[in-house]
Structure 1
Amino acid sequence: MKQEVLTFIKKHQLLRKNATVLVGVSGGPDSMALLHFLLSLEHEWNLNIVAVSVDHQLRGEESLEDLRYVERICNEWGAEFVGASLDVASYRKKHGIGTELAGRELRYRFFEQQMELYQADFLALGHHGDDQVETMLMKMSRTASSSFFNGIPVHREFSTGYIIRPFLCITKEILENYCKENHIEARIDATNFETEYTRNFYRHKVMPLIKEKNSNIHMTVQHLSETLSEDEEFLRKEAEKMVDELVDFQGENGMVTFHAELFKNRAQALQRRAYHLILNYLYDVLPKDLSYGHEEQFFALLQRKEGNAQLDFPSALKLENSYGRMTFYFAEHHEDPNLSYHYTLDIPGKLKLPDGSTITANFAEKNTEQNTLSYIFSSEQVKLPLHIRTRKPGDRMSWKGLNGSKKLKDIFIDAKIPLSARESWPVITDDEGKIIWLIGLKKGQPTSGLVRGATIHLLYEKGKN
């Protein structure tokens, strides 16, 4: 066993000489074997080894005795020991999470504290090859995306160093034989045999059947886990590049936008990962009811080419495809009454709008060049003062060459303006309520020829939010 594990350690560069190594020890055969194994390398590798152990206070005196047992063995073996009793039940109740997750969060918080205290290089954990197979089987039964079909990592960054798992290359049986050969008496948690726990079900009901067909399944799955991890890392980096190139993140208002056609031109594997990167950006914590069904709905929405269509996602997230422009936004941000506004526009004067855009009004001595974001007209054509506001139900406007008037709603539809942008779109009116400029879209007064009265020059600058 020793040579097999050493080969695995060297292949993945899991240890180095002169390192400080914390070892998570529960008192069970896996972690006890790991502590014993690393202590056998202590002098040759000049390692500083510290055993860290946790009592989760879930099995009363029995779990406390596990902690005392580990401390006693460490004294016998000459290993430094650090232990703690953690109130998992109270933590679980306070945060409304499951017992297993509560235990894990508290345990890793303790490990992180000890890593920082000792400025440790590694935290070694006793997961073995059978654990890896069980993990992959459980992922297969509930994961519909290859991005999340991953196993227990051989190593990963953690606190001041790395978590390492040197035993992923060997089976539970090999570890148990190692304990027997080295006269290691481990403590067994009786709950390990209760098959109502998902992992235990796979361990006792499924694994024996699989091993009948492939006794080397742990190495097969370990290789699968490693190659999947390598592939996923490459695809994730490519998806990050895609997102950087195509996606506009408007951080202050929690909105994400991109052009559907450009998005669809990329490989499907990158589209899928980009979608998940966007969700990870928007959600502080991914909702539990977010499923692969939502992913399918997103891709169906992405294919839509005409009109406006929306999807409702968990936690009030909305997805909208408006004429090929995709938008992700949270409903509460865009239904905020503060998005509606009405201000008087002084001349001369400059006004900053809620989205960070500005409108500047001045008197000009003569007509100057204008574009879609500027407007020049005579003061005699309007009733002052001017107002800038958001749209109201039934708003209509007219312009040169149009017979009658047209609803702002229809102008927005013709211009393919997303639904999410319409409620805060700036509208300029005179004091009688006549719409004279739907900024960037329509100008309601003639803009050519000489007119009497002072010339008013309006300039709109879009905010950077």
Structure 2
Amino acid sequence: MKDVVTDFIEKHQLLLPGKTVLVAVSGGPDSMALLHFLKSIQMEWNIRVIALSVDHQLRGEESRADLNFVERICQEWSIEFVGTSVDVEGHKKNNQIGTQRAARELRYRFFAEQMKYFQADYLAFGHHGDDQAETMLMKLVRSGDSSSFSGIPVKREFAGGKIIRPFLCVTKGELENYCEAHGIVPRMDPSNESVDYTRNFYRIKVLPLLKSKNGNLHKTIQHLSESLEADEEFLQLEAKKMFKEVVHTEENPLRASFKIDDFVSRASALQRRVYHLILNYLYYNDLPKDLSYVHEEQLLSLLAKNKRNVQIDFPRHLKVEKAYNKLIFYFQELEKNPLNFHEVLNVPGEVLLPNGKKIIATYQHEITRMDNHTYICLESELVLPLHIRTRRDGDRMSWKGLNGSKKLKDIFIDAKIPLQDRNSWPVVTDNNGDILWLVGLKKRDPIPNQKSSSYIQLYYE
């Protein structure tokens, strides 16, 4: 077994000479075999080995005895040891989380503290090839997303160093044989024999059936895991590039959007991953448990349909709206009802709008600019003061060349303005309530063509 593990370590560059290695040791056969193996190569590799053990206080005296056992073995083998007891039940209650998550959080917090204290380079775990197979099988059954179908990583960054798993190349049976060959009598956790736990069910009921068809199943699955990990790493890099190029994000309110034509022109593998990057951005990497592949299918179906102004609901009040050639993600709770904003605009003067922009009013003696963000008219044709407000039910406006008037709703539709933007759109009226300017879209008056010393210029910025 030593040659197999050593080749695996060298292949994946898991260890370097002269480094400090912390070893997570529970007292079971996997971690005890790992501790003994690293001790056996300590001189050859010139590494410092330190054992870490955690009592989760979930099995009373029995779990405390596990900690004491590891400490005693470390004394016998002349290995540095650091142990601790953590209050899993208290952490679980205070944070309203499950037992396994609470235990993991406290365990890894302790590991991180020791990595920093010892300035360690590696934290080694005893996960083996059967653990990998179980993990991959469970994900195969539960996950509909290929990017989530990955196994236990051989190594990853952690607390200024790396987590490493040198035993992913061997089976649990091989580790048990290793313990027996070296006179190691590990502690056994009776809960490992109960099929009530999902992982145990796969290990006891499913894995033996698959191994009867392929005795090297652990190697096959490890190769699959590494291949998927390499592919996913490349695809994630490409997806992040696409995200920067295609997706427009906002923080206040929290939103994301993209032009549908730009998005669907990219490879479908990137589309799916960018979709997940958008969700991670909006949910701050805390994805809801009820978010599933069904939502992804709904979104992809929405992109494929010709319907416009369609909306679908995601968890936690996230809305996904198709507005013509745009897809917009926003939270309903952040999008207020019609703002009912109304301010008087003095000339000269300015009004700060709810969206953070403003409209500035000045007197001008000549026309200096004319664009979609500027409105110029003759003072003699207005009834002052001017007003800035949001739209109201039944609002209509007219302009030169239009026979009659037109609803603002229809103007928004023609301009393909998304639904959630219409209620906050600034509308400029005179004191009679006549709409002069639907900012950026329509102007009541054409550019004045007569000389006057009394132009009023409005500028939206």
TM-score by length of 2: 0.97
Identify which range, 359-368 or 194-203, moves more after superposition.
Answer: 359-368
Report the 3-state secondary structure (helix = DSSP H, G, I; strand = E; otherwise coil) of the residue aligned with 2:257: strand
The answer on whether the counterparts of 2:239 and 2:274 sit within 8 Å (CA) in structure 1 is yes
The amino acid across from 1:256 in the alignment is A
What's the CA shift for 1:48? 1.2
1:199 aligns with 2:199: yes
Partners of 1:193 and 1:306 lie apart in 2 by: 55
Match of 1:397 in 2: 397
Q: Does 1:87 align with 2:87?
A: yes
Secondary structure, aligned partner of 1:186:
coil
The corresponding residue for 2:302 is 301
Instruction: Tell me how many residue pairs correspond in the alignment.
Output: 460
Which SS does the other structure have where 1:167 is aligned?
coil
Deviation at 1:306, TM superposition (A): 4.4
**Residue-by-residue CA offset, 1:161-184 (whole Å, 9 max, x unaligned):** 000000000000000000001001
Mean Cα displacement is larger for which, 82-91 or 291-300? 82-91
Q: How far apart in 2 are the matches of 1:376 and 1:351?
A: 17
How far the C-alpha of 1:382 sits from its partner, in A, is 1.6
Amino acid across the alignment from 1:117: Y
Cα distance in 1 between the residues matched to 2:88 and 2:50: 23
Displacement of 1:8: 0.2
Amino acid at match of 1:323: Y
Q: Map 1:355-374 to 2 at 5 A.
A: 355-374=355-374
Q: For residue 9 of structure 1, what is the amino acid of its counterpart?
A: I
Deviation at 1:451, TM superposition (A): 7.1
- What letter corresponds to residue 19 of structure 1 in structure 2? K
Counterpart position of 2:383: 383
Query: Is the Cα contact below 8 Å between 1:123 and 1:164 reproduced in 2?
Result: yes
- What's the CA shift for 1:336? 6.1
- The alignment status of 1:111 with 2:111, answered yes or no, reads yes
In 1, the alpha carbon distance for the partners of 2:207 and 2:281 equals 38
Quote the residue 2:67 is aligned against.
Answer: 67
2-structure distance, mates of 1:90, 1:281: 31
Q: CA deviation at 1:307?
A: 2.8
Give the aligned partner of residue 216 of structure 2.
216
Residue 160 of structure 1 is matched in structure 2 by 160
Aligned to 1:44: 44
SS at match of 2:355: coil
Q: Is the 2:378–2:448 contact (alpha carbons within 8 Å) kept by the matching residues of 1?
A: no
Q: Which stretches in structure 2 are left out of the alignment for 5+ residues?
A: none
Write out per-residue CA displacement over residues 284-328 of structure 1, whole angstroms, 9 at most, x where no aligned residue.
210000000000011111123443111110001111110011111
Distance 1:304 1:386 in 2: 44
1:394 Cα deviation after fit: 1.7
- Quote the residue 2:12 is aligned against: 12
Partner of 1:350: 350
CA distance in 1, matches of 2:184, 2:260: 61
Question: Cα offset for 1:10?
Answer: 0.3
How many angstroms does 1:106 deviate by?
1.1
SS of equivalent residue, structure 1 residue 166: coil
Summarize deviations over 1:118-146 as a string: whole Å, max 9, x none.
11100000000000000000000000011
Question: Within 2, Cα distance between the matches of 1:70 and 1:292?
Answer: 44
C-alpha displacement of 1:110: 0.9
Q: Secondary structure at the match of 2:167?
A: helix
Shift of 1:352: 2.9
1:432 Cα offset (Å): 2.1
Native 8 Å contact 2:18 2:46 kept in 1:
yes
SS in structure 2 of the partner of residue 126 of structure 1? coil
Q: Answer yes or no: is the 8 Å Cα contact 2:366–2:453 preserved in 1.
A: no
**Percent pairwise identity:** 58
Aligned to 1:444: 444
Q: Which residue of 2 aligns with 1:283?
A: 283
Distance 1:452 1:8 in 2: 86
CA shift, 1:399, in A, is 1.1
Residue identity opposite 1:304 in structure 2: K
Question: 2:254 maps to which residue?
Answer: 254
Number of the residue aligned with 2:147: 147
Q: Point out the more displaced range, 375-384 or 68-77.
A: 375-384
Matched AA of 2:39: L
Structure 1 residue 454 displacement after superposition: 1.7
Give the structure 2 partner of residue 187 of structure 1: 187
Structure 2 vs 1, CA of residues 143 and 379 (structure 1 numbering), >3 Å: closer, same or farther? same
Secondary structure of 1:262's counterpart equals: helix
Structure 2: distance between partners of 1:281 and 1:122: 31
Shift in Å at residue 46 of structure 1? 1.6
Corresponding residue number in structure 2 for 1:334: 335
Equivalent residue of 1:275, what SS?
Answer: helix
Q: Distance in 1 between matches of 2:306 and 2:455?
A: 43
Q: Write the distance in 1 (CA, Å) between the matches of 2:311 and 2:451.
A: 46
Amino acid at match of 1:134: E
Q: Normalising by structure 1, report the TM-score.
A: 0.97
The match for 1:408 is: 408
Q: Which runs of 5+ in 1 are unaligned?
A: none
Amino acid in the other structure paired with 1:333: L
What secondary structure sits across from 1:162 in the alignment?
A: strand
